[in-house]
Structure 1
């Protein structure tokens, strides 16, 4: 059974092109290490480690290693990820839309394949996670 979670739409004070340029190459996350560390502290130690390269992001959450790999880039509009070595099959995508020449908005979506028993266990953490990710992405200085 596929379940899907969407964040609220977040406004960003940077152009669609600039936001896409940063997020489509995950090596750019290194320059945002301060914001990522801030996010880690807000999650009260749930995130233990985080690393990235151009096409993947790996995090250790409460002893579980998760890797998300970019599987598709739709220039300026969308970046799609697929779970690699995740406990449940999942996809994540970040949609970026223009508001004006100097402003854009984003929405983060997660779709996971789970059985009925797992749905009750993962629904709340996935919804919270998608919202926190969108909030963090909206605060990054692009």
Structure 2
């Protein structure tokens, strides 16, 4: 299994309880998805970055429950990440369902002695050597981007 870890993200104003509470219920992402899908400023930023703003339409195809998130993936079809384990105020483990390979994602949250918390994402995927060469760098970059995005969520507003 290939292993990809994000950098540790510090959340100085957020307690472990706040972070865990938000991330352990995937339905809390619904307002964020709806805002992104309908936000003309985000569409403009995508255009400036040379990307197609029509990609935002795909966010409307995302299905959320408290335990899972399903989304379309090119050439694969519908893919689902499902929470398979929760360790209160420490870790959330998600598994890929309906994917052509076995993959797990861990979101680890720990308190920081100076206050606040820190978070790290770990992705383990069953990739053969060819797949590692083709998508390994993209997975490394993607796991860091996902950690950055999660670190920017408004946890203290819960």
- Per the TM superposition, whether the score is higher than 0.5 is yes
TM-score, normalized by length of structure 2?
Answer: 0.77
CA distance in 2, matches of 1:99, 1:3: 29
1:60 and 2:59 correspond: no
Q: Give 1 or 2: higher strand fraction.
A: 1
1:25 and 2:25 correspond: yes
Matched with 1:14 is 14
Deviations 1:50-97 (A, max 9, x none): 231110012224454321100000000000000001122100010001
Closer, same or farther: CA 43–52 of 1 in aligned 2, 3 Å = farther
Q: 2:130 aligns with which of 117, 123, 134?
A: 117
Closer, same or farther: CA 122–43 of 1 in aligned 2, 3 Å = farther
Q: Give 1 or 2: higher helix fraction.
A: 2
Structure 1 unaligned residues grouped into runs of 5+: none
Deviation at 1:36, TM superposition (A): 5.5
TM-score, normalized by length of structure 1?
Answer: 0.85
Deviation at 1:33, TM superposition (A): 2.9
Matched with 1:51 is 63
Closer, same or farther: CA 60–106 of 1 in aligned 2, 3 Å = same
Structure possessing the higher radius of gyration over alpha carbons: 2
Number of aligned residues = 140
Residues 1-142 of structure 1 correspond to what in structure 2 (within 5 A)?
2-12=1-11, 13-33=13-33, 41=46, 44=51, 48-49=58-59, 50-62=62-74, 64=76, 65-100=78-113, 103-142=116-155
Deviation at 1:113, TM superposition (A): 0.3
What is the root-mean-square deviation in Å for CA atoms of aligned residues? 2.5
8 A contact 1:68–1:83 mirrored in 2:
yes
CA distance in 2, matches of 1:4, 1:51: 27
Closer, same or farther: CA 28–100 of 1 in aligned 2, 3 Å = farther
Deviations 1:103-127 (A, max 9, x none): 1110001000011111111201211
